[in-house]
């Protein structure tokens, strides 16, 4: 199962160009949904004004090389490893889900655009697609059932769903139905294969069509906020916040009662 290209088998029913058009349509939905979200929340306006304010209160003018170094360090440390979550379980779950999704989407694009016209896909690309889906499920389900704040800290049931959960649930549905579709296809279960494929398509439509209502656009804002924060630290503006106090941290003995959780 891991080495097959499920999209290649699909070409007997759906032409490859329609699959490619579908991927392009999903990308357009991301662009449109993110654009509408920015217009509604005015995030870009906020970041621009905040950057201008930080520039006025900066104590040091950073050179282009220094800014580049800060940005690269932020990407490599804060963004690529989600370091703000500390070394707890939430960070591991986020890293699994993040890199699993990247592999899953990248594998989908390569398989659809390059290996649905008769060319046989190398087994390692199909394995990347399947492994990406598996990692997405591992990180996503771990987060959903055990690590969500409203479940682990506020005692709400895992099945409580709000609008903000649309992204993670749709993403999990995509990965889950994608794996189920590939398995049923490789096992020769044609009826189940078509059923899971339809569910796979529907979950993709919900995921990419629901960008405006979900936390999908949050993936684009968060790296920008991390970069701006570190640039503000480097130039001394500190987002107009006071510097850390020299006094030692005094938390009291209560902090030893339970292990801290990073939210």
Residue 196 belongs to domain spanning:
6-53+62-239
Does residue 259 belong to any structural domain of this protein?
no
Q: What is the model's pLDDT at position 62?
A: 79
Does residue 248 belong to any structural domain of this protein?
no
Q: What is the model's pLDDT at position 118?
A: 78
Helix pair angle (123-142, 89-114), 10° resolution: 150
Does residue 115 belong to any structural domain of this protein?
yes
Q: What is the model's pLDDT at position 196?
A: 95
Structural domain count of the chain: 1
Q: What is the model's pLDDT at position 12?
A: 84
CA distances from 134 to 103, 137, 166 (A): 10, 5, 20
Does residue 256 belong to any structural domain of this protein?
no
Does residue 85 belong to any structural domain of this protein?
yes
Phi-psi region of 161 (alpha: psi -120 to 50; beta: other; left: phi over 0): beta
Q: What is the model's pLDDT at position 50?
A: 73
In this prediction, the residues of the chain whose per-residue pLDDT falls under 50 are none
Does residue 1 belong to any structural domain of this protein?
no
Does residue 260 belong to any structural domain of this protein?
no
Q: What is the model's pLDDT at position 120?
A: 85
Give pTM, 2 decimals.
0.82
Does residue 254 belong to any structural domain of this protein?
no
């Amino acid at each position: 199962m891991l080495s097959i290209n499920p999209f290649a088998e699909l070409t007997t029913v759906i032409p490859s160009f329609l699959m490619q058009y579908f991927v392009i349509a999903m990308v357009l939905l991301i662009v449109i949904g993110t654009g509408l979200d920015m217009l509604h929340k005015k995030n870009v306006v906020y970041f621009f004004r905040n950057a201008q304010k930080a520039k006025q209160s900066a104590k040091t003018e950073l050179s282009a090389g220094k800014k580049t170094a800060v940005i690269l360090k932020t990407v490599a440390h804060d963004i690529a490893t989600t370091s703000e979550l500390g070394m707890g379980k939430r960070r591991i779950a986020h890293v699994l889900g993040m890199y699993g999704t990247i592999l899953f989407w990248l594998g989908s694009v390569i398989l659809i655009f390059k290996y649905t016209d008769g060319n046989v896909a190398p087994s390692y690309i199909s394995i990347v697609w399947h492994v990406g889906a598996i990692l997405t499920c591992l990180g996503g389900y771990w987060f959903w059932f055990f690590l969500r704040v409203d479940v682990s800290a506020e005692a709400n049931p895992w099945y409580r769903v709000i609008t903000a959960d649309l992204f993670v649930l749709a993403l999990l549905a995509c990965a889950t139905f994608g794996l189920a579709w590939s398995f049923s296809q490789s096992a020769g279960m044609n009826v189940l294969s078509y059923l899971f494929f339809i569910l796979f398509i529907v979950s993709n439509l919900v995921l990419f069509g629901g960008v405006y209502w979900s936390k999908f656009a949050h993936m684009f804002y968060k790296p920008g906020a991390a970069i701006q924060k570190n640039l503000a630290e480097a130039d001394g503006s500190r987002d107009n916040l006071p510097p850390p106090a020299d006094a030692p941290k005094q938390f009291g003995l209560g902090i030893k009662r339970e292990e801290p959780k990073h939210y």
